[in-house]
Amino acid sequence: MLIAKNDAQQMISSHEAVKSEIYYCPCCQNEVVLKKGKIKFPHFAHKTLSNCEATSEPETLEHLKGKSLIARNCATFGLAYELEAYLPEINQRADVLIQNKLAIEFQCSSLSIERLIERTTQYKKHDYQVFWVLGSRLGTQKHLTELKKHFIYFDCFRGYIDFCLLVEDNLLVVTYYLFSKNKKIVTRKKQFSLGEISLVNILTECGLKTEYLIQQPFEEMLNRRKQLSDQLLCSDNIVKDLQEYFYQHNLHLAHLPPYLYFPNFFHPLLRGEDIRIRWLTFEVLQNKKMLTYRELQQDVLENLPPEAMDDYANLGKHQVFDYCLSLYVSFLQEIKVVKLSGSNMLCFNEESVMNNEQFKKFFKKRSERLTLPLKYDMIIK
């Protein structure tokens, strides 16, 4: 801990504290000792082992330094903050609470998914926005584990992202999850020096210039198709379920119309389910010809099996679904299969539906590339 109470009930930072005084944990009120030395990063520790909420994250040097880096960044950019803010209403302590509403959790060590969901839910329930920022070990892990999926956020311009703080370099790294290729997830990383930019701006994206991250060639379509065939061959359960579903509609997963494979967005929280969402979207549009985005959303959702999607700590399944659908409709608008009529009617345009050959030609003309991410908010809600 970096903050403790003294006898006069004042909050004292470990940098100002002196060894001759007695300090108490602001959380459980038990006595804490000041650890200060030539090498040690000054901090407080409970005198005796306790089940205090404040000790939920082991106090590694990385964790201590990270919290003070975040605090320093807030101070530099004139944001009110509270270090290790104890929130009695939820009996949780935020590593840093900014402007009384934005909780930053700097997560250096592993924790259970249940605990992560519980903590996140509590914050949201009490109207705090919470940002989990990963430490170097979790943040630089190559494999996207189930735990790591729960730390993923998305926004309209950046798609699926997570955040990692590299304490030693004073850098915040944003990882963008873009698409998958040969079973590997293609990501892009962008680094921000915390000496130059406000952490809150990076997390919430306000004031940052949006930019296109990648151009996806048409060939990506073939990639996705091949990937699905491979998964079928190795009897991947999720893909097998999908195949069964498409069989019922006399379709094979590896021979679907091109616009179901392309663009090859990666939906890390959907486990291949985007193909079914696209198919249903297309079906609904084809049958109804004209409807609002809301109606489309409802119709597709009604036909999705409830077990097809999971809730994640930071992203509920409805958000993930909406993101996937909205991106797809944006794409259909790009290739003119969907047109907007009036202010909010989506119209299906049969003549623009292309077969494989036409699709390929179309993208040849457009220099075979599609720029990602498509703007998520192109759809009129």
Residues within the interface to Zn ion (CB under 5 A):
25, 27-28, 52, 54
Pick between residue 55 and residue 136 the one whose CB is nearest to Zn ion: 55
Pick between residue 17 and residue 164 the one whose CB is nearest to Zn ion: 17
Pick between residue 57 and residue 322 the one whose CB is nearest to Zn ion: 57
Pick between residue 27 and residue 296 the one whose CB is nearest to Zn ion: 27
Q: Which of 155, 199, 191, 157 is nearest to 175 (CA)?
A: 191
Pick between residue 22 and residue 80 the one whose CB is nearest to Zn ion: 22
Cβ at position 379, least distance to Zn ion in Å: 48
Residues 6+ apart with CB under 8 A from 84: 1, 2, 3, 26, 54, 67, 93, 94, 95, 96
SS3 label, residue 10? coil
Cβ at position 63, least distance to Zn ion in Å: 16
Cβ at position 93, least distance to Zn ion in Å: 9
Pick between residue 4 and residue 300 the one whose CB is nearest to Zn ion: 4
CA distance 116 to 194: 26
Q: Which of 135, 203, 140 is nearest to 168 (CA)?
A: 135
State the helix-helix crossing angle for 317-334 and 293-302, rounded to 10 degrees: 120
Query: Is 341:246 a contact under the CB 8 Å cutoff?
Result: no
DSSP H helices, the chain, are 61-76, 113-125, 136-139, 146-149, 199-204, 220-233, 237-248, 274-288, 293-302, 317-334, 356-365
Cβ at position 43, least distance to Zn ion in Å: 13
Cβ at position 277, least distance to Zn ion in Å: 46
Pick between residue 59 and residue 220 the one whose CB is nearest to Zn ion: 59
CA distance 218 to 284: 25
The single-letter code of the amino acid at 157 is F
CA distance 23 to 361: 73
Cβ at position 105, least distance to Zn ion in Å: 17
Chain CA centroid to CA 1, Å: 28
CA distance 137 to 167: 11
Cβ at position 30, least distance to Zn ion in Å: 5
Pick between residue 48 and residue 237 the one whose CB is nearest to Zn ion: 48
SS3 label, residue 73? helix
Cβ at position 86, least distance to Zn ion in Å: 9
Pick between residue 49 and residue 206 the one whose CB is nearest to Zn ion: 49
Q: Which residues pair with 164 in a beta bridge?
A: 134, 173
Strand order in the sheet with 338-341: 290-292, 345-348, 338-341
Is the backbone peptide bond immediately before 306 cis, with ω within 30 degrees of 0?
no
Cβ at position 103, least distance to Zn ion in Å: 18
